[in-house]
Amino acid sequence: MDRNTGRRPPCFGLCYRQTQAIPLLSLVLLLLAFGAGCIDFPETNATEKTTSPPVLHYEREDVSIPINTSEIPVRGFDANATEVIEILLADRRAGALLEDGWKITSVRTNFERFYSVDPARTYVDVEFRRDEQSPSFFIEVDEREGHTGRGFCNVPFWKGGPYAGPYPEDYHQNWTSTKQFSGYYVFDHHHNERVMMAYNETTIFYLYPSYGREWYESVAASG
């Protein structure tokens, strides 16, 4: 207030209103900063917001092979790859393939076969491959019952003879039944038709070069 005139200065009302507006303006700017995400607060525990990929391990004696299930593609209907692989790793065939250098390359779901009591039921085939050029070996997994089923290789069958048809280009397999062995031999055409695998629906007996070699040599020696 002016001491001479007893009146308020002309800017008093304006200055007073401006003073009141400053906190309100600051509040508006703060809310806008929140909305735009411009203000970062330190996270108390960043690890709580990240989930590490599920890594399983095949282990036998001094062998430990990690398997990152998040890297295995699932084809067909939905399947829990982690649960499927956990069931699979209890199967000796899976161990034989993994220790021989094969890798799990896919999980494929399919409808159960026509002779199933529940034709709408699905089963899971887990695919193994040694490399890009190798054939695939599949092991069936029953996720509902929690066990594995039959195994099979995906190369064509060829028995030879005048009615056998064209000779397969890379690999072939045939059924063999003797006193020592009834099952399938898989032949590798890239290496002089050497036997690369011997198996039936439940067991892998031989994998080139080393798994089951004593068994294979004894069967070959017996004719």
Per-residue pLDDT of the chain (223 residues), as tens digits, is 545 555 555 544 444 444 454 555 565 555 655 555 544 545 545 444 445 558 999 999 899 999 999 999 998 777 889 999 999 999 999 999 999 999 999 999 875 554 445 555 668 999 999 998 899 999 999 988 899 999 999 999 998 877 778 889 999 999 999 888 999 999 999 999 999 999 999 999 999 999 999 999 999 888 6
| Same domain, residue pair 126 and 216 | yes
Residues 6 or more apart from 98 whose CB is under 8 A from it?
A: 58, 65, 104, 128
Same domain, 61 and 168: yes
Residue 141 included in any domain:
yes
Q: How many domains does the chain have?
A: 2
Same domain, 20 and 103: no
Residue pair 134/153 in contact by the 8 Å Cβ criterion: no
My answer on whether 77 and 27 are in the same domain is no
Domain with 4, as residue range(s), is 1-41
Same domain, 126 and 185: yes
Same domain (yes/no): 32, 141: no
Same domain, 17 and 94: no
155: Cβ contacts below 8 Å, ≥ 6 apart: 135, 168, 170, 171, 172, 173, 186
Flag whether 49 is in a domain.
no
Are residues 120 and 145 both part of a single domain? yes
Burial class (CB in 10 A: 0-12, 13-18, 19+), 67: buried
pTM: 0.72
Residue 151 and residue 119 share a domain: yes
112 and 164 in a single domain? The answer is: yes
Same domain, 10 and 83: no
Whether 47 maps to a domain, the answer reads: no
Q: Are residues 118 and 180 in the same domain?
A: yes
